Structures are given as structure tokens and as C-alpha cells.
């Protein structure tokens, strides 16, 4: 593994993510929204995540900026990063497939929204966010730069912790006892831990 290949892997993850999401995003746009729970705060959170997982690593991969924050490249770390990136994309695909029309980029509920508790959602309430965390960790392991590397963890972490409470409240308001029971028997993003 070389620094150039590691940068290519980060860009390939973004492209892969976009290809997977594109299909589902188009379908979800055609499904009417019944409750829109997002406001300016959500927009700021989404932009923060986009900056950390998208803009900063892209700028670094294509221009090398900010070079002052570079540290020595470690191939072994980058290989682990590659495994995380591949795992993130696989999980991303599975979660999109399982959520289907119930997915949205922001906090929304669709008409006829179904509470999904099957497939991987039987074990975790937020496996798509697990996929994003894995991607963010992959970026940190692949890019030997103190700004562009950890930017994904910080950017997505901000979105995650800023949104998770609100998302679960929204789901509880809509699904009541069903979601409470679902919460009681599942973990958020890491099985048996959190």
C-alpha cells in the first residue's frame, strides 16, 4: 500500500457510496413525506458531515493540502483502513436495501412509514450510522494527515451525536410502544456495547 493508493481508496469509497445511495435516493424522492422533522440545525449537521467526510479528504487527496499536518504513512494502518472502507460499503448497501422506501437523508417519516426491525435492524437500531462510523475510521487510517484524516470522525460524529436523540424521539412519537420495545432489545451502533 502506498500513500497514493490510500488516497485513491478514500475517493473510491466516496464514489462507491454515491453509486449505492443514488438508486435509493431517487426512489425515496418519489415516496411522499408525511412528517418533516428537520430544520436549520439538521442542515448545519449535514454540512458538517459533508465537510469532514467529503470536502476535506477530497482537497487533501487531490492537492495535498494541508501538507503541514502530514505524518509518516504506515502501510499496515492503511490496509486496516481499506478493510474498514470495504466493510462500510457492504453495510451501507445492506442497510439501504433493508430500509428501502423508509430511508431519507434527513429526519423524515414517509407516508405508510414502516418500522423496520428485520435483517440487520434486528440487532442494531442504526446500522447505517455504523457504516458511516466505519467509513470515518477508514479515512483516519488511510490518510496520514492530522486534518484530513480525523475530519470524518469529527464531522460525522457531530452529525451522529447531534441527531441521534432527535431521531429516536421522532420514531418513538410515531411508533410508540413498538419503538420502545425495539429500543429495549437492540443496541444503537455496536452489538453488545452501545
Contact region with ligand SAH (CB under 6 A), list: 9-17, 19-27, 62-70, 124-132: 124-132
Residue 91 is a binding residue for ligand SAH (CB under 6 A): no
In whole angstroms, give the CA distance from residue 174 to residue 184.
17
Q: Which of 78, 88, 89, 107 binds ligand SAH (CB under 6 A)?
A: 107
The H or E element containing residue 121 is none
Residue 93 is a binding residue for ligand SAH (CB under 6 A): no
Q: Which of 128, 134, 140, 153 binds ligand SAH (CB under 6 A)?
A: 128
Cβ(186)–Cβ(123) under 8 Å? yes
Residue 88 is a binding residue for ligand SAH (CB under 6 A): no
Cβ(111)–Cβ(33) under 8 Å? yes
The H or E element containing residue 108 is strand 108-110
In whole angstroms, give the CA distance from residue 38 to residue 130.
21
Dihedral sign for Cα atoms in the order 11, 6, 97, 116:
negative
CB 14 to ligand SAH: min, Å? 18
Residue 20 is a binding residue for ligand SAH (CB under 6 A): no
Provide the binding-site residues for ligand SAH, judged by CB under 6 A: 95, 99, 102-104, 107-109, 115-116, 121, 126-129, 167, 171
Amino acid at each position: 500500500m502506498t500513500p497514493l493508493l490510500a488516497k485513491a481508496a478514500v475517493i473510491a469509497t466516496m464514489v462507491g457510496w454515491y453509486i449505492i445511495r443514488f438508486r435509493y435516493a431517487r426512489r425515496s424522492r418519489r415516496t411522499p413525506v408525511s412528517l418533516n422533522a428537520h430544520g436549520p440545525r439538521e442542515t448545519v449537521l449535514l454540512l458538517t458531515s459533508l465537510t469532514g467526510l467529503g470536502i476535506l479528504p477530497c482537497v487533501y487527496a487531490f492537492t495535498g493540502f494541508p501538507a503541514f499536518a502530514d505524518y509518516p504513512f504506515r502501510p499496515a494502518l492503511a490496509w486496516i483502513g481499506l478493510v474498514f472502507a470495504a466493510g462500510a460499503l457492504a453495510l451501507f448497501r445492506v442497510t439501504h436495501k433493508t430500509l428501502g422506501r423508509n430511508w431519507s437523508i434527513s429526519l423524515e417519516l414517509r407516508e405508510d412509514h414502516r418500522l423496520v426491525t428485520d435483517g440487520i435492524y434486528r440487532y442494531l437500531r442504526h446500522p447505517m450510522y455504523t457504516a458511516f462510523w466505519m467509513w470515518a475510521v477508514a479515512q483516519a487510517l488511510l490518510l496520514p494527515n492530522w486534518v484530513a484524516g480525523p475530519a470524518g470522525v469529527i464531522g460525522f460524529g457531530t452529525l451522529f451525536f447531534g441527531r441521534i436523540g432527535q431521531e429516536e424521539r421522532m420514531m418513538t412519537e410515531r411508533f410508540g410502544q413498538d419503538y420502545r420495545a425495539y429500543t429495549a432489545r437492540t443496541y444503537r451502533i455496536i452489538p453488545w456495547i452501545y
